[in-house]
């Protein structure tokens, strides 16, 4: 059984319903990379799609956005491709407009539950639950509820949206170890073939001793400058009758992020210096300007948009 695992698409970020300023919006970047990530599913190269949570960028969104975000998943479900979706913390553990997610082929982990699927001679049990606050002390009870009366299966896959001990993020490689919202690796089920988790935006594979691997697909696009050096993408993995087989991370074309720093910009020369620096960055870059000292009055948001071209440029 081949599984496509994608997560943290954050659809709707920088995509206002009625924009007050005409400029390039980053919201389209997220939709485009989500579409690219689903290409193997549309081509029939995988048997199941798992979305690890934070499909949307927040819990309160307009109906049109929820519908647009769910549309590609529902099209796959309508084609016969099973889709499993974990509500993440940005959805506050529940999908907005839940009626829009109703489809017999779209399995929503809106409560602790197990979904059993078969493909290529493998019977797999996908165990999941929505993002849960205080999971460290609640994990065993939530897992027990999800696996109650679970049918037999060749492989078991835990699908969640949580921090797990040992996961890292940020420029300083912060490592999650303790805290109310961090799952202990010792608490992960031994009998699972793999844990697929969303929530951490950096792709990584944890290999806790005596426990199955934990795979974070990461986000499909860079959501902040803390992720500027991270490669974005999705994961395709194989489940066999004996457990987890081969898996691979497939990169996506995330937009480059560049920070330009200036000290004591002269008001007369500021525009030319900043324009030249911006022009030196990739044509589709997301650019952050950091100015030490007084920012010249000529460097307005409108002036930066005029210089930007296809870039996004802003003071940071």
Do 152 and 113 lie in one domain? The reply is yes
For range 181-207, the mean pLDDT: 98
Domain boundary among 236, 251, 266: 251
The answer to whether residue 269 scores a pLDDT higher than 90 is no
| 108 and 122 inside one domain | yes
Does the pLDDT value for residue 296 go beyond 90? no
What pLDDT sits at residue 297?
A: 84
Q: Are residues 207 and 285 in the same domain?
A: no
Asked whether residue 95 falls in the same domain as residue 202, the answer is: yes
pLDDT at 74: 98
Share of the chain above pLDDT 90, in %: 91
Domain that holds residue 294: 257-315
Task: Please determine, for residue 22, whether its predicted confidence score (pLDDT) is greater than 90.
Answer: no
Query: Would you state the structure tokens that stand for residue 77, as one six-digit string?
Result: 């479900």
- Tell which of 251, 285, 306 closes a domain: 251
* Exposure string over 141-164, b if 16+ CB within 10 A, otherwise e: ebbeebbeeeeebbbbbbbbbbbb
Nearest to 46 by CA among 76, 71, 74, 7: 76
Q: Looking at the structure, do residues 21 and 60 belong to the same domain, yes or no? A: yes
CATH code for the domain in which residue 139 is found: 3.60.21.10
- Residue 223 DSSP code: -
Are residues 143 and 21 located together in one domain of the fold? yes
Q: Are residues 207 and 93 in the same domain?
A: yes
Total number of domains constituting the chain: 2
Model confidence at 164, pLDDT cuts 50, 70, 90, reads very high
Q: Average of pLDDT values for 243-268?
A: 93
Give mean pLDDT, residues 110-117. Answer: 98
Residues 183 and 265 in one domain: no
Let me know whether 70 and 172 are in one domain. yes
Choose among 31, 84, 29, 78: nearest CA to 56. 31
Q: Are 59 and 12 a contacting pair, CB within 8 Å?
A: no
Residue 83 pairs with which residues in a beta bridge? 49, 106
Question: Do 227 and 278 sit in the same domain of this protein?
Answer: no
Confidence of residue 116 (pLDDT cuts 50, 70, 90): very high
Q: Are 63 and 168 within one domain?
A: yes
Mean per-residue pLDDT over the chain, rounded: 96
| Same-domain check for residues 228 and 127 | yes
Percent of the chain with pLDDT over 70: 100
| pLDDT for residue 268 | 73
């Amino acid at each position: 059984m081949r599984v496509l695992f994608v997560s943290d698409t954050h659809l709707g970020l920088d995509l206002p319903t009625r924009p007050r300023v005409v400029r390039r919006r980053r919201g389209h970047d997220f939709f485009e990379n989500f579409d690219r990530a689903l290409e193997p599913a549309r081509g029939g190269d995988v048997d199941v799609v798992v979305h690890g949570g934070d499909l949307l960028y927040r819990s309160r969104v307009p109906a049109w956005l929820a519908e647009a975000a769910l549309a590609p998943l529902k099209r796959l479900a309508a084609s016969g491709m099973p889709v499993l979706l974990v509500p993440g913390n940005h959805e506050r553990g529940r999908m907005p407009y839940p009626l829009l997610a109703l489809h017999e082929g779209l399995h929503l982990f809106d409560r602790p539950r197990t979904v059993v699927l078969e493909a290529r001679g493998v019977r797999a049990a996908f165990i999941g639950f929505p993002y849960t606050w205080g999971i460290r002390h609640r994990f065993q009870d939530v897992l027990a509820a999800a696996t109650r009366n679970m049918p037999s299966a060749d492989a078991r896959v835990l699908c969640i949206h949580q921090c797990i001990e040992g996961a890292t993020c940020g420029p300083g490689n912060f490592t999650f170890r303790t805290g109310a919202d961090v799952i202990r690796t010792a608490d992960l089920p031994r009998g699972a073939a793999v844990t697929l988790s969303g929530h951490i935006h950096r792709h990584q594979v944890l290999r806790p001793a005596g426990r199955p691997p934990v795979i974070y697909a990461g986000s499909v696009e860079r959501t902040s400058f803390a992720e500027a050096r991270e490669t974005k993408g999705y994961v395709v993995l194989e489940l066999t009758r004996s457990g987890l087989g081969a898996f691979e991370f497939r990169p996506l074309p995330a937009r480059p992020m560049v920070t330009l720093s200036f000290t004591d910009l002269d008001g007369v020369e500021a525009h030319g210096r900043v324009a030249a620096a911006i022009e030196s960055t990739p044509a589709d870059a997301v650019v952050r300007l950091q100015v030490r000292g007084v920012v010249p009055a000529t460097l307005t948001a409108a002036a930066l948009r005029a210089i930007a071209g296809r870039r996004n440029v802003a003071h940071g």
